[in-house]
Structure 1
Amino acid sequence: MSRKLLKLGVAASSLGAYTWALRTDHETVNSIGLIRLSRAAYSVFKISVIYRTNLYGTGLDHESDEYLQIKSACHRHGAENLLDLCCKNKGIYIKVGQYVAALDYLLPKEYVETMKVLHSHAPENTLDDVSRVLKEDLGKDIKDLFSSFEEKPLGTASLAQVHKAVLHDGQTVAVKVQHPFIRKNCKTDLKTMEYLVKIVSWVFPEFQFQWVVDETKKNVPIELNFEIEASNATKIAELFKECKWLKVPKVYDDLSTQRVLIMEFVEGGQVNDLKYIKQEKIDPFEISAKLGQLYSKMIFIHGFVHSDPHPGNILVKKTKQGTLELILLDHGIYANLSRKTMVDYANLWLSILDRDRIKMRTYCSNLGISDKVYPIFACMITGRTWDSIMAGLESSKRTKFEKDRMQNEFPKLLPNITEILNQVNPEMLLILKTNDLMRGIESTLKTTARMGAFQVMSECCVKSVYKSRIDDARDRFSKLTNTMAKYWLLFKLNMYYTYLNLRSGRFIFA
């Protein structure tokens, strides 16, 4: 093992020496990728040394308090090094860091907690960088485009940052500007990531994260095209036009390009800003209920799912009428689910809620999951232990003990989880990411025990399954029979959850 680490360290040092030896301006620009590669390789080397030196050679009992304390310290130190790498290399590294922050069922809590800062405090670019992109894409200077432009960004994400501005006609807008070097570094960074993941897998065989690289390679080029984001925003606004509590900011198409997106400016607090929520007297259970309704309809009814619901992309506010409004931002990545995937996933959730192991196995198989790991997959999509699933999710609360147990036990199942992520229908990978982020929001809001979430989701699953059956029915009698079965099942669900609600004294928001 030490020889592997030594080779990695030598490679990192050699790359660094070669990079800084370059002299001409042209060569210096072209060496940026090598600098980033050198920095990334050296960071992986340092993290590997932390574990190898301080943990793996101790000879301590893995269940002892001393070993667990050392292990936690190694996780914290490793996470800090990874965060430093993400902040220095920016771009795609920030995107991966944000994903790490969402994997609370898979990765040690020290990594999850450390990387969460990237959801809303990614490194900023200078005003000169922003101005250059605007000039290149729109052919005008900032003063020609806007009557005022705030230099300090409202927020900075992995691929872009957003500024508040006012157009010359008086309209206040949000200006999303892509980081200037992101496209140039994209291919190099993706190759670097793939290379480093392979090295980590070589040094630590239990860590197999090629699926992260594959998903990033597929999704980043889409996210870098803001015209796709504008189209997604328009589509989701149309799909949910009946939801008066959902706000999707309007896009100014005539002032937007692949690297610049100018939108209607909206105000609100981040969905995880507990101080703001308390100050505005917003009920966190209502926030969770609306989010649950929104995402259940996206997944099970429309098959068009906003797949980056980290806290920086969802705002909340109270309207002048005193009602709650959710504001959905950043529409770069959506999961487009086929009807088959949508129905199989809906059936899987119904079988989980029914505690029906045979059907769970069947629908997991339809989604590409083998029989031997289907219980783990059920735990992954619910964020609950197998014992809790068998006890009934709708009637058992997720306790701190259960959360700690999952964080301690799931890393031990890495080989099985890796097998699942390599097997599962590719459409499901974005859904798993979405589930992770949504659970993180509910955990922050302390609303994970919501019974209403299961009612809304159950109803959407039933509607999805029976819509498919009705559409496939060959005659009117079959259509009528399935329609009646759907409404009868929805009625029974409503009665069941009403009973649970009355028994527990908990209110379910519509």
Structure 2
Amino acid sequence: MNGLSLIFRHSRRDFSANVRRISGRNFSTSGQGLEQTNPRLSNIKINSPHQEGQSKKSISILTVTASATGLAAALFYKDDLIHAFKASVRTGRVLKTMVICMNDYRKTLKQNEIIEDKEERNRFMTACHQRCADRTLKTLEDNAGIFIKLGQHLSAMGYLLPLPWTATFIPLQDKCPISSYESVETMFKMDTGQEITEYFSSFSFEPIGAASLAQVHLATIRETTQQVAVKVQHPALAEWAMLDLELIKFTFSTVKKFFPNYDFDWLSREIEYSLPLELDFTKESQNALRCKKYFSEFPKLPLVIPDVIWAKRRILVMENVSGHRPDDLEYLDKNGIDRDEVSAALARIFNQMIFGKGAPLHCDPHGGNIAIRKNEKRKGCNFDIILYDHGLYRDIPNELRRSYAKLWLSFIDGDEPKMRQYAREVAGVTDDKFIIFASAITGREFSVVTSDISKKRSAEEKLHLNNALSQGMLQDLIELLSQVPRIILLILKTNDLTRSLDENLHTRHGSVRTFLILARYCSRTVLEEKLEELYNRKGLLWPSNMLNLFKCWWDFLRVQVKLEVFELGLVVQRNWQDYTKFGKI
């Protein structure tokens, strides 16, 4: 039996069984590519013992396999030829794109072996990256569903993938398919037992927003007249999720077979784990409620999380709270919302999620999941930060959180021995992989990590970082990511997304202020650990502990005051620059 026929066998199985299975587990919810003009794959080993002849033979086998998928589908869906045809089309798109791209890379790498000029090799490889990214984008858009989600994941991996790939996939963050009103209406009746018009007095025919897994409609609850936002899962996901997930796993495993150094199995494992959680909106509602409750203890942070009215597995009814994307600089400037203050507020919110004791971590903070709205009534600033899409959360274990804080303090201090020590504690990173890990987690060139990590990233630094990966470190990074704990992968992703948010704001402070804020949260986390150790040693008021207690607080307050003064100085400097500029006008 054709191995791919097993994919079809599961493609129509109700995905809700897997959602319930995984949702019921005891789980914790918790440089930009490196050289745009450099070949990222120049050092990739191609696993072909007979070289070109074997590669052509293998690709021919894949082509035959792709052609056989229609027959396999028909065999398993004799009673539903339409479904079988659609399944074969989806599968055929993926396999065709995979085979063409692999062959393109094979030819380009072979061609580059005889080209001596480095710049010319770079041009050929960059062009190959772009061709393959364009083909893949078309396939992701055509298949939609979790393929869009995959593209969004890849677009956020600027620390790993070539720039043509990440840049090409960025539109997937906002450009998502729309499910028809009729399909939504049918799903609503199936899941609630009611017609949409029975529960809502109005329901927008067109969604106000669409994402990879769901879309949002405006509606009015008939009984209370409250205007709400209704998030509905794309109905087609139930039909295709299992097939699509198997196709993603098959694609990554096949790429690994032909390009052994390019192992993305860890990404397919993460998608396989997280997807059922994201498809269960009851879990999302629980995450939202938990996050809202947690941040109610921090009223100075301008975070707004819409109230949840009710939720079912594929439907979520929420308070309607709208705003503008954080990179809508025209809106910010027009409404007198200071970009630097937005940047600082975002830094405080996400540092609180990472370093706060018992805090839930939102693991998908891209620009489409965050909105800014003006709020003149809020104390301390004139805006709110609205956080959407609470489907992907994790908890950071206490010991990991503390070691991670020490790791960042060692980065800020430029203390390489401690960097290496805490990199081992955080992710099991050995000395031979440390440099690439440090660059990946900070998004900085290693020479900057060991000197002044707070300075703004320059275009030259991004190019240097790009060169470093293309000269053999890329494979080390991919191997490293396949070995580190899953939570570290999500922290890396969150770091990269929040770093992108900050850079897109084009602040006057650059990254200096955000690193000051980071240092304050890290030092507070270290203080918490020291106080706990003293308390466990016969109590904080035990005579022998009193001096140590005083020293802990003195060290903490000394650092906090220093950072507070430094941050205040930046604010004063910024205000003075604004004043003098206004005076000239």
**TM-score, length-normalised on structure 2?**
0.81
Structure 1 residues 320 and 220, CA gap change in structure 2 (3 angstroms): same
Counterpart CA distance in 2 for 1:266 and 1:496 is: 35
- 1:332 maps to amino acid: G
CA distance in 2 between partners of 1:276 and 1:3 (Å): 56
SS of residue in 1 equivalent to 2:356: helix
- Matches of 2:161 and 2:257, distance apart in 1: 19
Partners of 1:279 and 1:504 in 2: how far apart? 20
Partner Cα distance (1:500, 1:438) in 2: 20
Q: Provide the residue aligned with 1:314 in structure 2.
A: 370
State the match for 1:12 in structure 2.
66
Kindly state the Cα deviation for residue 417 of structure 1 after the two structures are TM-superposed.
Answer: 0.9
Q: Where does residue 530 of structure 2 map in the other structure?
A: 469
Equivalent-residue separation in structure 1 for 2:571 and 2:113 (angstroms):
50
1:270 aligns with 2:331: no
Larger mean Cα displacement after TM superposition, 57-66 or 384-393: 57-66
Shift of 1:195: 1.3
| 2:260 aligned with 1:193 | no
Give the counterpart letter for 2:399 in structure 1. K
Q: Are 1:146 and 1:167, in contact at CA under 8 Å, matched by a contact in 2?
A: yes
Q: Does the aligned pair in 2 maintain the 1:33–1:189 contact within 8 Å? A: no
Secondary structure of the residue aligned to 2:202 is strand
Quick one: which of 96, 118, 142 aligns to 1:64? 118
The CA distance in 2 between the partners of 1:79 and 1:359, in whole Å, is: 39
Task: Rate the CA distance shift 1:305–1:487 in 2: closer, same or farther, 3 A.
Answer: farther
Rounded Cα–Cα distance in structure 2 between residues aligned with 1:318 and 1:338 = 35
Contact 2:516–2:563 (CA<8 Å) still a contact in 1?
no
1:235 aligns with 2:290: yes
489, 493, 496: which one aligns with 1:429: 489
Match for residue 98 of structure 2?
44
Q: 1:22 and 1:195, CA in 2 relative to 1: closer, same or farther beyond 3 A?
A: closer
Structure number with greater Rg is: 2
- Alpha-carbon contact 1:462-1:486 (below 8 Å) kept: no
Aligned to 1:304: 360
Structure 1's 327 and 197: CA in aligned 2 closer, same or farther, altered over 3 A? same
Q: Does 1:495 align with 2:562?
A: yes
Residue number among 261, 282, 290 corresponding to 1:206 in the alignment? 261
SS at match of 1:488: helix
Asked if residue 246 in structure 1 is aligned to residue 303 in structure 2, the reply is: yes
1:441 has 2:441 as partner: no
2:385 alignment partner AA:
L
Which position in structure 2 is the counterpart of 1:79? Answer: 133
Counterparts of 1:68 and 1:300, CA distance in 2: 41
Residue 512 of structure 2 aligns to which amino acid in structure 1? M
Q: Is the 8 A contact 1:94 1:122 kept in 2?
A: yes
Q: Which amino acid aligns with 2:281?
A: F
Match of 1:225 among 265, 268, 280: 280
SS at match of 1:282: coil
* Structure 2 CA distance for aligned equivalents of residues 199 and 479 of structure 1: 62
Deviation at 1:186, TM superposition (A): 2.3
Report the CA distance shift for 1:506/1:453 in structure 2 as closer, same or farther (over 3 A): farther
Query: What one-letter code is carried by the residue in structure 2 that aligns with 1:292?
Result: A
Q: Deviations over 1:277-308 (max 9, x none)?
A: 33333222221111100011110113421001
SS of equivalent residue, structure 1 residue 123: coil
Shift of 1:480: 7.1
SS in 2 for 1:252: strand
Structure 1 residue 246 displacement after superposition: 0.9
Alpha carbons of structure 1 residues 141 and 41: separation in structure 2 relative to 1, 3 Å: same
CA 1:144–1:62: 2 relative to 1, 3 Å: farther
The separation in 1 between residues aligned to 2:547 and 2:284, in whole angstroms, is 40
Question: Offset of 1:243 from its aligned partner?
Answer: 3.0
* Counterpart Cα distance in 2 of 1:8 and 1:120: 33
Q: Distance in 2 between matches of 1:140 and 1:49?
A: 52
Q: How far off its partner does 1:84 sit?
A: 1.2
State the AA in 2 paired with 1:489: F
Query: Which residue of the partner structure matches residue 420 of structure 1?
Result: 480
The Cα of 1:32 is off from its aligned counterpart by 4.5
CA distance 1:453–1:151, shift in 2 (3 Å): same
Aligned-pair CA distance for 1:55: 5.1
CA contact (8 A) 1:148 1:167 kept: yes
In structure 2, runs of 5+ residues without a counterpart are 1-54, 576-585
The partner residue of 2:315 within 239, 248, 260 is 260
Please give the alpha-carbon distance, in whole angstroms, between the structure 2 residues aligned to 1:171 and 1:117.
33
Q: Which runs of 4 or more aligned residues in structure 1 lie more than 6 Å from their structure 2 counterparts after TM superposition?
A: 20-23
Matched, 1:96 2:150: yes
How many percent identity over aligned positions? 32
> Residue 331 of structure 1 aligns to a residue in which SS?
coil
SS at the partner of 1:57? Answer: helix
Question: 1:408-438: CA deviations, max 9, x gaps?
Answer: 4335422211232123232211111111111
Match of 1:373 in 2: 433
**How far is 1:362 from its partner?**
1.2
Quickly say closer, same or farther: Cα 1:482–1:454, change in 2 above 3 A.
farther
Letter paired with 1:251: V
1:58 positional shift = 4.4
For residue 449 of structure 1, report the CA deviation from its aligned partner: 2.1
CA separation of 1:65/1:439 partners in 2, compared to 1, >3 Å: closer, same or farther?
same
Give the letter for the 1:175 counterpart: V
Residues 266 and 504 of structure 1, relative CA distance in 2, 3 Å threshold: closer
Q: Secondary structure at the match of 2:517?
A: helix
Q: What is the match of residue 333 of structure 1?
A: 392
- Correspondence for 1:350 among 369, 388, 409: 409
What is residue 582 of structure 2 aligned with on the other side?
A: none
Matches of 1:18 and 1:445, distance apart in 2: 51
Q: Partners in 1 of 2:567 and 2:351 — Cα distance?
A: 21
Quick one: distance in 2 between partners of 1:268 and 1:450?
Answer: 25
Whether the aligned pair in 1 keeps the contact of 2:264 and 2:482 (CA below 8 Å) is no
Residue deviations 1:367-395, cap 9 Å, x none? 2211211121111111111011111212x
Q: CA deviation at 1:83?
A: 1.2
Query: What secondary structure sits across from 1:423 in the alignment?
Result: coil
Instruction: Give the aligned CA root-mean-square deviation in angstroms.
Output: 2.4
Q: Distance in 1 between matches of 2:284 and 2:240?
A: 21
Which residues of structure 1 form unaligned runs of 5+?
Answer: none
